[in-house]
Chain A
């Protein structure tokens, strides 16, 4: 077995070759070669516990008008699911947005926001939309 940045011959996980690429630090592909022993090595990637967005019972919703781009929610979010969009706010300010694929709905962002720009809304309100 080797870590290779060249074209892999065979992925450790069939159908999961995109896995290594989604890792910010390790672009290498784990390659299993004939005669290799099998080592259960993990690769850093989002979603080690699946799409944790499904854990949410409340969804944080950002009001871009109110957001002052202070980054506090970004600093404290335990799951790194706040993405700051630079200069994307209505007043040209940086603005917070949320990765709903993985956001677990803890509500920390809403509680640390100094201007109450994040509201926690029951997921049931979104069922008909999705």
Chain B
């Protein structure tokens, strides 16, 4: 499907002069959500950078309706909101917009419950790979080796495979996306909005403040994550897995850019030893092996 930038809605839902840092990936992601869903979207936002971006007074930083909610309750609140809207015969789209900490750590039980009950909303995890709003603490979605203020020598753990965990609930739609690929993200949002039941989109969102890079590079780093194979774009629709461009061309490792191109631009990886780098590469290879195994079992590879 050809992507026509000029056909995108021109209306601004992200207000200029809001509280986001320069080059903020959450502002970019919210912009694409509003382009895809427009007036139909109601956001449910647990604590995180977006709480501040949209939640100031007397001016609000976005013009989407927002329910601000406590960390652990985003998916529960969205369940109630969505049910109430349906009872009233409204087809508004409830969208949870939660950080990686708010999703993979603190909000996981509510997320799992809502997925299991098949609640009708879209859950977006905006993954900047740490608790950014409180000063860059490690979350369970921080990659191996990354510096954070709670992992001075680099994160000893590895990134939790959250999209797969949600997909294991056998929900109708799970996808990964990146703020560097708006056409992919917007079409996934539109698809998710057309499906009834629980939908999950995991949005990769490089943060210049927490990852220690030049704010002009947010989009470039997001694209490098995909081009090097460190972040894989795919979707699970009714249990069937499909790779999306450009990841579908990167199954062969020789087609990928060297991981170093992605790593070297980020201060959070500056201290990385060769062993850490190998560990990171091994982790990425494992992710690809899992995906290609599923594709083979489906007869798609």
* Contacts from A to B (Cβ < 8 Å): 12-13, 16, 19, 23-26, 40-53, 55, 70-72, 74-76, 78-81, 99, 101-108, 110-112, 120
Given A42-B57, A70-B5: A101 and B17 interface contact (C-beta under 8 Å): yes
Q: Is B216 an interface residue (CB 8 A)?
A: yes
- B59, closest chain A residue (CB): A48
Give chain A nearest CB distance to B19 CB in angstroms. 4
Interface size class of B (residues with CB under 8 A): 35 or more
Q: Are A108 and B215 in contact (CB under 8 A)?
A: yes
* B28 adjacent to A78 (CB under 8 Å): yes
In the complex, residue of chain A having the shortest beta-carbon distance to the beta carbon of B62 = A44
- Residues in B with CB closer than 8 Å to A53 are 17
CB–CB A111/B17 < 8 A: no
Residues 185-213 of B, flagged 1 when their CB comes within 8 A of A and 0 if not, give 00000000000000000000000100000
Contacts A12-B58, A48-B60 given; does A75 touch B217 at CB 8 Å:
no
Can you list 6 pairs linking A and B with CB atoms under 8 Å apart? A16-B58, A45-B60, A48-B56, A78-B31, A79-B17, A99-B16
Nearest 5 A-B pairs (CB), nearest first?
A: A107-B216, A44-B63, A102-B16, A106-B23, A48-B59
Q: Say yes or no: A80 contacts B59, CB within 8 Å.
A: no
**Nearest Cβ on chain A to B220's Cβ, whole angstroms:** 6
Interface residues of B in 60-74 (CB under 8 A from A): 60-63
Q: Chain A residues near B62 (CB, 8 Å)? A: 44
Please, which residue of chain B has its CB at the minimum distance from the CB of A42?
B60
Q: Which of B5, B12, B15, B214 contacts A48 (CB 8 A)?
A: B15
Verify B17–A76 contact, CB threshold 8 A: no
> Which residue of B15, B63, B218 is within 8 Å of A106 (Cβ)?
B218
**B219 lies within 8 A of chain A by Cβ:** yes
**Cα A48 to Cα B57 with chains together (Å):** 7
* A47, B63: Cβ atoms closer than 8 Å: no
Question: Interface residues, chain B, CB within 8 Å of chain A?
Answer: 5-6, 8, 11-25, 27-28, 31, 39, 55-63, 182, 208, 214-220
Q: Which residues of the other chain, A, contact B55 by a CB distance below 8 angstroms? A: 42
Give the docked Cα–Cα distance between A72 and B189 (Å): 20
Q: Which B residues are in CB contact (< 8 Å) with A111?
A: 216-217, 219-220
Docked complex Cα distance between A75 and B14 (Å): 12
B48 nearest CB across to chain A (Å) = 16
The smallest beta-carbon distance between A105 and chain B, in angstroms, is: 6
In the complex the two chains form, is B215's CB within 8 Å of A107's CB? yes
B58 to chain A: which residues have CB within 8 Å?
A: 12-13, 16, 19, 40, 42-43
Pairwise interchain contact A51-B5, C-beta atoms closer than 8 A: no
User: Given that A104-B22, A106-B23 are known contacts, is A46 also in contact with B17, CB under 8 Å in the complex?
Assistant: yes
- With a cutoff of 8 Å between Cβ atoms, the chain A residues found around residue B19 in the complex are 48-49
The residue on A at minimum CB distance from B26 is: A78
Inter-chain contacts of A25 with B (CB < 8 A):
11, 13, 39, 63
Q: What's the Cα separation between A12 and B58 when bound, in Å?
A: 9
* A46 and B15 within 8 A (CB): yes
Q: Is the CB of A71 within 8 A of B5?
A: yes
A51 to B59 CA separation, bound complex (whole angstroms): 13
What residues on A are CB-neighbors of B57 within 8 Å? 40-42
Given contacts A45-B60, A78-B20, A104-B23, list 14 more A-B pairs with CB under 8 A. A12-B58, A16-B58, A23-B63, A25-B39, A43-B59, A45-B15, A46-B17, A79-B17, A80-B31, A99-B16, A102-B17, A108-B23, A110-B216, A120-B216
